[in-house]
Amino acid sequence: MFKVSRKSEYALIAVQQLARSLPDRVVSVADLSQQTQVPADVLAKVLQGLKRAGVVRAVKGAGGGYGLSRSPAEIRFLDVVQPFEDKLAMVSCQMPSHECERLDTCSLRDPMAALNAFVLRQFEGLTMDVFLVPHQWIAVGTRGAGHPHETSLARRLRASDAASG
């Protein structure tokens, strides 16, 4: 449960790294691979996936590379992860074309559907800018103004977790 695919991790790392470079510059896969220690071949396909998802833009040819297509604050966590997670559901029957022979008798389906929807909504407002300031994660009481789009998840992450422990 909860575990994200390796490609998702690479995607998150790539977005982090791209966010640290100048917004109008692009970085080649080779450079990005060196900076992040992610195998170039895998990183290449991950970037392709992110491009298809509209998260990054690509510039072909000599001197080309990848760059973020918009500001980190406007890139949602789920945008980055979605392309590499065919299963954003807790149970099989929640995703299309995955059937289950126990559909009618199963008294677990409805509760899990609601649970799934709730968890997903928690992530809706989580944007990638939260991933860029490492110190916020360990400091307590750093609570900032917050972005208009963010939900309680992003807010509570900013406030760190040592508070209510």
β-pairing, 65-68 with 56-59? Answer: antiparallel
Distance CA 120, CA 149 (A): 15
> Which of these ranges, 24-32, 107-115, 133-141, 155-163, lies near ligand SF4 under the rule CB under 6 A?
107-115
Exactly one of 59, 93, 119, 157 binds ligand SF4 (CB under 6 A); which one?
Answer: 93
Residue 73 touches which member of DNA, ligand SF4, a second copy, none, C-beta under 5-8 Å by kind = none
Q: In whole angstroms, how close is the CB of 112 to DNA at the nearest point?
A: 14
| Residue numbers 13-42 binding DNA by CB under 7 A | 28-30, 39, 41-42
Show Cβ contacts of residue 82 under 8 Å, excluding neighbours closer than 6 positions: 53, 88
Nearer to ligand SF4 by Cβ, of 100 and 162: the residue is 100
Show Cβ contacts of residue 85 under 8 Å, excluding neighbours closer than 6 positions: 4, 5, 8
| Residue numbers 127-156 binding a second copy by CB under 8 A | 130-131, 134, 137-138, 153, 156
Nearer to ligand SF4 by Cβ, of 108 and 162: the residue is 108
Residue 103 touches which member of DNA, ligand SF4, a second copy, none, C-beta under 5-8 Å by kind = ligand SF4
**Contact status, residue 132 vs residue 19, Cβ threshold 8 Å:** yes
Note the Cα 29 to chain centre separation in Å. Answer: 19
Show Cβ contacts of residue 33 under 8 Å, excluding neighbours closer than 6 positions: 39, 40, 43
Residue 41 touches which member of DNA, ligand SF4, a second copy, none, C-beta under 5-8 Å by kind = DNA
Token pair 């970037």 in the structure block, residue = 47
**Counting contacts by CB under 7 A, is residue 48 touching DNA?**
yes
